[in-house]
Amino acid sequence: MTDPTVADPDLLAGRLFFGVPVPGAARAPLEAALPRLEPLLAGARVAPPGGWHLTLAFLGQVQPELADEVVRVGEAAVAGVGPARLRLEGAGTFPQGRRARVLWAGIGGDAEVLVRLAAALSSAAKAAGLRSEERPLAPHLTLARFSTPAPVPQEALDLVAAAAAESEPWEARELACFRSTLGGPRGARYRVVREFPLTG
């Protein structure tokens, strides 16, 4: 029997980040809207629905010898944190206005749990000597990225907001560590390499 506290350096290395997966039932209305959404987003790369997630902390390139530190960061962040009831709601861009780089769907429900998790991950990563971001989290689901900043049509924002309003709420029961592999026609591919239960 393997020790769950020991990290597999072959898995927990590379481009890593912590996030919360978005289950199929919750993303279904947005996924169904993609054929109408994509033609409205000229020059954008739409993220494949199977990899949709809520990013909480990006670690960047992590060397295999730091795999155990990654596990300790995840375990420290979830300590005392229970499941979060989440839902998709609204739509927007980063930044706002005519030079958008990201189109997103917003997160409602217990979104403050995600904000607390992100802050705990940042603190634990910094203490472990791993990369951490200082800016506070604005919980969101990234749907598309623009290589060249561009305005997002109001029709696209309305479509995302309407689809999000139809999505089912879900209970996030774990924090996941993802590995990101760059390349491919649809951009990066994501794989969950470790889960940290939110048991409270």
Task: Give the CA angle between residues 97, 162, 150 to the nearest 5°.
Answer: 25
Q: Which of 68-77, 78-87, 170-179, 185-194 has the lowest mean pLDDT?
A: 185-194
Please name each of the domains of the chain with its CATH number. 14-197 (3.90.1140.10)
Reading the block at residue 186, the tokens are 């649809």
Which pLDDT value is given to residue 173?
97
pTM summary value: 0.92
Task: Please report, to the nearest 10 degrees, the dihedral formed by the alpha carbons of residues 193, 47, 146, 177 taken in order.
Answer: -20
